[in-house]
Structure 1
Amino acid sequence: MFKIKNGETTILCLIPKILQLFLNMSLVLLGIILSILLVKELIIFIQILVEGGNNDFKIFLANILIFFLYFEFISMIVKYFKEEYHFPIRYFIYIGITAMVRIIIVDHEHPVNSLFYAFIILILIIGYFIINFTPRERPDSAMNNKK
């Protein structure tokens, strides 16, 4: 097919490493930003608890769910580095379920929309159930690692 010179081969091998480094630095920066926002949510919790006069539990519950969304995204970034540059799909499912619960709590004026969101949560839970019962290692991937 194509004959690649030795100098071109090193450049082609260098490009993925540079892109991976850029991706890693971007994820670290995103993790720092999300950590700052997580601390900001903790400060909002403290303000709500200190005021005490605010009985709007919807706002408090929505803030708790936003807190968990930040927490899940930070956990997903940590897991990405621990699992050798791989995002586990179950973390995306956790985030999706948390986001749908937050939408139901905050915007529950239309019952049809709430039913639709609940159906989405059911689909995500079924997907999570399927992921837990399928083997993590695929037979093809074990054969490819031996080569």
Structure 2
Amino acid sequence: MGHYITKIFQHVLNFSLITLGIILLFLLIRELVDFFRLIFQSDDDYKIFLESILIFFLYFEFIAMIVKYFKEDYHFPLRYFIYIGITAMIRQIIVSHDEPVATLLNSLVILILIICNFIINLTPRERPESKWYFKIKE
């Protein structure tokens, strides 16, 4: 019975991630169109231009994360979450660097994420057999 429940949950999760990927792909294309529209406008507001680039890469990263999930046999590697966190914090510093204390705290968060990434890369990447809970009942 547990085998069927986990299969149902896996299918629901896969369907949800595919749906989310399609929505993110649509938003990525829309952001790309807005990006080209900003290029050809004669507006001198570079902050909107930079914001558009940053949002584009956020969509791109999350789509890449969903693709990685399916390539890694239904597993999100923790190191990719750390990479996304580091790049998101760097973007935050680029966009809003007016307050020195906030910039320092964001830099400390980046340092902590880099240390976490270093620790994760020191440990072996092998996972235990993913179907161990099925073998117990069989």
Say if 1:93 and 1:128, in contact at 8 Å, map to a contact too. yes
- Structure 2: gaps (5+ residues): none
1:129 is displaced (CA, Å) by: 2.2
- Amino acid in structure 2 at the alignment position of 1:22: V
RMSD of aligned residue pairs (Cα, Å): 2.0
TM-score (norm 1): 0.81
Match among 65, 82, 100 for residue 54 of structure 2: 65
Say if 1:31 and 1:77, in contact at 8 Å, map to a contact too. yes
Deviation string for 1:71-90 (max 9, x for gaps)? 11111111111111100112
TM-score (norm 2): 0.85
Match among 38, 47, 51 for residue 28 of structure 2: 38
Q: Which has the higher contact order (CA 8 A, sep 6+)?
A: 2
State the SS of the aligned residue for 2:32. helix
Give the percent of matched residue pairs that are identical in Structure 1 and Structure 2: 61
- Structure 1: gaps (5+ residues): 1-10
Match among 114, 122, 126 for residue 111 of structure 2: 122
1:108 corresponds in structure 2 to 97
Say if 1:62 and 1:102, in contact at 8 Å, map to a contact too. no
1:133 corresponds in structure 2 to 122
The size of the alignment, in residue pairs, is: 132
Q: Which has the larger radius of gyration?
A: 1
Say if 1:35 and 1:74, in contact at 8 Å, map to a contact too. yes
1:5 corresponds in structure 2 to none
1:4 corresponds in structure 2 to none
Runs of 4+ in 1 over 3 A off after TM superposition: none
1:128 is displaced (CA, Å) by: 1.7
1:13 is displaced (CA, Å) by: 2.1
2:12 corresponds in structure 1 to 22
Deviation string for 1:90-114 (max 9, x for gaps)? 2111211122122222222211001
Say if 1:58 and 1:105, in contact at 8 Å, map to a contact too. no
Within the alignment, does 1:90 sit opposite 2:90 as a pair?
A: no
